[in-house]
Amino acid sequence: MKKTFSIGGVHPDDRKISAGCAIEVLPTPKTVYISMAQHLGGPAKAVVAAGDKVKTGQVIGEPTGFISAFVHSPVTGTVKSVGLRKDLAGIPVVHVEIETEPDEWMEGIDTSDTLVTEIPSDPKFILDRIKANGVVGLGGATFPTAVKLCPPPDKKADILILNGAECEPYLTSDYRIMIEKSSQIVIGAALMKKVLGVGRVVIGIEDNKPEAITSMKAAVAGLAAGSPDYSGIEVVTLKKKYPQGGEKQLIDAITGRQVKSMGLPIDVGAVVQNVATSLAVYDAVQKNKPLIDNTITVTGECFPKQSNLLVRVGTPLSSIVDWLGGVPESAAKAISGGPMMGKAIANLDAATLKGTSSILFLTEEQTRRKPETNCIRCGKCAEACPMGLEPFLLNKLARNGMMEELEQNAVQDCIECGCCLYSCPAYIPLLDTIRMAKGEVIKIIRSRSAQKK
Ligand code: SF4
Ligand code: SF4
């Protein structure tokens, strides 16, 4: 029987209408804007100034703490400014603006297509390259990868899980890289396996992606035949169900282990990385190439050209959209990410980040919310919740500002998947209220633990 997670979940229409679009390379734009807040944790500190000449792959931002990451120039050119600019959400963040010229890569970066399969023997060398090349998690959280690969001394991983579920409707960038860059992803997995010292790696892919499954299995078999460094790596087919790609859901589906409330995957011996992160790890370690580009899906029924594009980090969304023919009149809303968990894009002048996975255009009809009616206590939201929460109750508590009760009912465990909202026949904006309440409760929990220290 195909594996899946045990609690809740929904089955939205997957609408992978860009699945057949092979990855194309977007021409480098005239100007790029690189955010210093591309990752979870402290924003990087810009180390260039207006007038500086930079090369492709040069460090332009340095980490500001343990949980932070290097940022590199995705282009060659001249720094025009360093200052505040609005990001995708419309929030002012420090960006480095660079006017581009033809690429001149930093020395030591291998830009050839040669596949490097030999795994370095020293885990520290691997880890140092991941850190120096600014790799962050590309599954949504953008947590610095080098930090995630170093569990605290009292915790030990025994399994690395690669997330190839891509369970959000519309998104196909992971699907395309699993077909087109399968060997690189498997080599990335072997590199992380070496750092973690685990014997087992499972690459989980949903059954609506048979071509990706075939391609990844062939890559694993081919590499395992050539070196013992690739032993213990397997591809597992998962039953399609949203949110299969949630860390806790994936661990449940693959190992049957349950991560407790407020717990982390490492508590049950697991580390989860996205397939796109694994590709970035390959580039960082085997090619010494920083994370300066990523594959982005541009899609939506109202959009004229479905695409999967390899885009330099810092590319204005408007450059991408213009290259594809411009925004159609019928598009009412643009979303970064999928329709279930994605965030509205405040303006198309904002630039892509390392973690940007898609631009989804929706029509007025697709975004129109139906008028909210009274809760009929049908329980569908609770049935759908993959975290075993009671969304109808959390919504009620949130609307009444009952923070203590919200914490007791584990609002902090909400993964903001939107299954409750998707299931509710009364069209109650459960996700909005619960997400806000979760933010408040997490602030309370953090300040309480800070006071205890
Ligand atoms: S958004 Fe939160 S409360 Fe709603 S189904 Fe997902 S985890 Fe449960
Ligand atoms: S799904 Fe909607 S109507 Fe049904 S119990 Fe939950 S909140 Fe109430």
Q: Delimit the domains of the chain by residue range.
A: 1-25+109-368, 380-452
Spell out the CATH class of 1-25+109-368.
alpha beta
Residue 370 in contact with ligand 2 by CB distance below 6 A: no
Q: How far is the CA of 434 from the centre of ligand 1 (A)?
A: 8
Q: What angle do CA 53, 54, 60 make, to 5 degrees?
A: 120
Ligand nearest to the Cα of 433, by number: 1
CA of 160 to the centre of ligand 1 (A): 26
Q: Report the nearest atom of ligand 1 relative to the CA of 430.
A: 4
Q: How far is the CA of 139 from the centre of ligand 2 (A)?
A: 30
Question: Of ligand 1's atoms, which has the minimum distance to the CA of residue 438?
Answer: 2
How many angstroms does the Cα of residue 430 sit away from the middle of ligand 2? 9
Place of tokens 């800070």: 450
Count of C-beta atoms within a 10 Å radius of residue 91: 12
Atom index in ligand 1 nearest the CA of residue 391 equals 3
10 C-beta closer than 6 A to ligand 2: no
Going by alpha carbons, the residue nearest to atom 8 of ligand 1 is 385
Residue nearest to atom 4 of ligand 2 (CA): 378
Whether residue 405 contacts residue 397, with contact meaning beta carbons closer than 8 Å, is answered with yes
User: Side-chain half-sphere of 418: how many Cα atoms within 13 Å?
Assistant: 13
Distance (Å) from CA 106 to ligand 1 centroid: 45
Helix, strand counts (H, E) of the chain: 14, 17
Classify residue 289 as left (phi > 0), alpha (psi -120 to 50) or beta.
beta
For ligand 2, atom 8, the nearest C-alpha belongs to 375
Name which residue sits closest to atom 2 of ligand 2, judged by CA. Answer: 424
pLDDT in tens, the chain (453 residues): 689 999 999 999 999 999 999 999 999 999 999 999 988 888 999 999 999 999 999 999 999 988 999 999 999 999 999 999 999 989 999 999 999 999 999 999 999 999 999 999 999 999 999 999 999 999 878 999 999 999 999 999 999 999 999 999 999 999 999 999 999 999 999 999 999 999 999 999 999 999 999 999 999 999 999 999 999 999 999 999 999 999 999 999 999 999 998 899 999 999 999 999 999 999 999 999 999 999 999 999 999 899 999 999 999 999 999 999 999 899 999 999 999 999 999 889 999 999 999 999 999 999 888 899 999 999 999 999 999 999 999 999 999 999 999 999 999 999 999 999 999 999 999 999 999 999 999 999 988 888 876
Ligand 2, atom 7, residue with closest C-alpha: 392
- Between the CA of 366 and the centroid of ligand 2 the distance, in Å, is 22
Closest ligand to Cα 373: 2
Would the pTM count as exceeding 0.85? yes
Query: Cα(388) to centroid of ligand 2, in Å?
Result: 14
Per residue in 256-290, pLDDT (tens digit) is 999 998 899 999 999 999 999 999 999 999 999 99
Spatial CB neighbours of 12, under 8 Å, sequence gap ≥ 6: 169, 242, 339, 340, 422
> DSSP string spanning 22-74?
-EEEPPPPSEEEEES--SSSSPPEE---TT-EE-BT-EEEE--SSS---EE-S
